[in-house]
């Protein structure tokens, strides 16, 4: 059978603010997309390695080698580093703590920013040569900072998904990220866009959530997903079992919210919903 080697859609999941739901979104949006037939490659670009853990990769360095680090250094291909997950059609390139070496590397050549982009391009070429399916979506889980790792994601990506927690100062943090995305677009990756902003840990009963949501929607308009992810305890329990919440408890509110967000993402990608 002719393999599908069309170019994947590469989405960076980024916000320099910590703990806003980047990793949870990478894992569960990826799982939801895979469950509706997409071929998903998650790239763990955070030395914390939480996306790898949440997708069931054991924590030892051996189980996580080769990792994103070797891919960035050109010592392993994506095909060599990727691992299957318990989810059909979803793979992960795991990360381990050694990835911190990249952040600390004093070498600041600009070409370093393109390591992930080049690895993904090489992967596409290799898939075509070997007649293997390419992923349809690549989701990159970024660390909570605007460092060289996040820059690699922004240079490799077609678009950025921003998980945003409705709390005080959310908008200030967002403008810094938007400035960075604009600078990357001006100097490094002219086609980069913001795919959308997803409101996470949303609690509609809280006045603060309502006010921040109102401000964010007024500021960013249709960039903000109409579906939101509620604060849901099952979402926070699932990673300790090495499972996406969608596998851990498909019927909980958090799972259903991620399915709704995945469907909205597909509609946005197809241009059926104004973005
Ligand atoms: N919708 C939710 N409801 C309840 N808990 C959540 C939800 N989303 C994420 N969490 C929990 O909040 C914490 C932070 O989430 P997560 O790790 O996804 O954020 P992050 O932005 O990737 O963090 P970091 O910046 O450290 O990488 C985790 O313990 C996670 O389980
Ligand atoms: Mg994270």
CATH T-level assignment (fold) for domain 9-267: Rossmann fold (3.40.50)
Which pLDDT tens digit goes with each residue over 89-142? Answer: 999 999 999 999 988 776 666 668 999 999 999 999 999 999 899 999 999 999
pLDDT of 170 reads 84
pLDDT of 3 reads 66
Give the closest residue (by CA) to ligand 1 atom 16. 21
Ligand 1 proximity of 20 Cβ (cutoff 6 Å): yes
Average model confidence (pLDDT) for the chain? 93
Give the torsion sign (CA, 190, 128, 40, 76): negative
Residue 171: pLDDT band with limits 50, 70, 90? confident
Residue 273: pLDDT band with limits 50, 70, 90? low
Which pLDDT tens digit goes with each residue over 190-208? Answer: 999 999 999 999 998 999 9
pLDDT of 168 reads 81
| Closest atom of ligand 1 relative to the 27 alpha carbon | 18
Whether residue 2 is predicted with pLDDT greater than 90 in this model: the reply is no
CB atoms within 10 A of CB 185: 15
Residue 78 alpha carbon to ligand 1 centre in Å:
26
pLDDT of 103 reads 82
- How large is the average pLDDT for residues 202-231? 94
Among 236, 242, 261, the mutation site with the greatest number of ligand 1 atoms within 8 A of its Cβ is 236
Which pLDDT tens digit goes with each residue over 173-187? Answer: 899 999 999 999 999
Domain ranges of the chain: 9-267
169-178: list long-range contacts, CB under 8 Å, 24+ apart: 170/17, 170/212, 170/216, 171/212, 171/215, 171/216, 171/219, 173/15, 173/16, 173/17, 174/15, 174/216, 174/219, 174/220, 176/16, 176/146, 177/14, 177/15, 177/16, 177/146
Pairing state between β 193-200 and 159-165: parallel
Give the closest residue (by CA) to ligand 1 atom 14. 19
Ligand nearest to the CA of 52: 2
């Amino acid at each position: 059978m002719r393999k599908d080697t069309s170019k994947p859609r590469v989405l960076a999941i980024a916000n320099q603010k910590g703990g806003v739901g980047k990793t949870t979104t990478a894992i569960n949006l990826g799982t939801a997309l895979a469950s509706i037939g997409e071929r998903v490659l998650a790239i763990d670009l955070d030395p914390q390695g939480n996306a790898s853990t949440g997708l069931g990769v054991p924590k030892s360095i051996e189980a996580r080698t080769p990792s994103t680090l070797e891919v960035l250094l050109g010592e392993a291909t994506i095909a060599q580093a990727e691992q299957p997950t318990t989810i059909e059609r979803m793979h992960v390139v795991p990360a381990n703590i050694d990835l911190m070496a990249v952040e600390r590397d004093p070498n600041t050549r600009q070409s370093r920013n393109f390591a992930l982009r080049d690895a993904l391009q090489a992967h596409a070429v290799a898939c075509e040569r070997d007649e293997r399916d390419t992923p349809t979506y690549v989701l990159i889980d970024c660390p909570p900072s605007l460092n060289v790792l996040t820059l690699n994601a922004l240079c490799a990506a077609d678009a950025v998904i921003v998980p945003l927690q409705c709390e005080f100062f959310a908008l200030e943090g967002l403008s810094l990220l938007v400035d960075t995305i604009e600078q990357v677009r001006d100097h490094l990756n002219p086609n980069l866009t913001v795919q959308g902003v997803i409101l996470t840990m949303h609690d509609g009963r809280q006045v603060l959530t309502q006010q921040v949501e109102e401000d964010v929607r007024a500021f960013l308009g249709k960039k903000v997903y109409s579906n939101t992810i509620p604060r849901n305890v099952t979402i926070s329990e699932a990673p300790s079992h090495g499972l996406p919440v969608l596998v851990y408890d498909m019927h909980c509110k958090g799972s259903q919210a991620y399915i709704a967000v995945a469907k909205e993402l597909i509609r946005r990608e197809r241009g059926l919903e104004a973005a």
